[in-house]
Amino acid sequence: MSAILCAAPGCDNPVARRPGQVGRPAIYCSAQCRPSRRHQALGVEAEPSDASETPSRAWEVRLRRGGRAVVVQRGLGRFSATALVAEIQALITGEVTP
């Protein structure tokens, strides 16, 4: 019988199998290789932007997870950016706004 290798990308460690164990057989060599262990929270933020020509509309809203980010809107005023962040956070968390 050949050794079972870890299912994580780039990991060539063998997976310890225990015959007779109850439940699904292990496919990862350690807790650090499990994708659920590496979950990073999704964050929403509003920050001043340097790219705006108008100082009063110098805010942008971003979605961020780990090292990756997406700009949702640029050229907002501070209060508009804050309101958009609140609406996106309510959408993510499932909160109902009146």
Q: Tens digit of pLDDT for each residue in 3-43?
A: 789 998 889 999 987 878 888 888 888 888 887 755 567 88
- pTM across the whole model: 0.54
Confidence check: pLDDT of 54 > 70: no
**Do 57 and 81 contact (CB within 8 A), yes or no?**
no
Give the pLDDT confidence score for residue 17 in this predicted structure. Answer: 79
What is the rounded CA–CA span in Å between residue 49 and residue 24?
A: 49
Percentage with pLDDT > 90 across the chain: 28
Rounded distance between C-alpha atoms, residue 55 and residue 33, angstroms: 46
Q: How far is CA 26 from CA 1, 12, 21, in A?
A: 16, 15, 10
Q: What is the pLDDT of residue 81?
A: 92
Give the per-residue pLDDT at 73: 92
Q: For tokens 């997870």, what's the residue?
A: 65
Cβ burial of 61 (10 Å; 0-12, 13-18, 19+) is: buried
What pLDDT does residue 37 have?
Answer: 55
Q: Is the dihedral of CA 80, 81, 87, 90 positive or negative?
A: negative
Please give the average per-residue pLDDT across 46-72, as a whole number: 81
Q: Give which of 26, 24, 23 is closest to 3, Cα–Cα.
A: 26
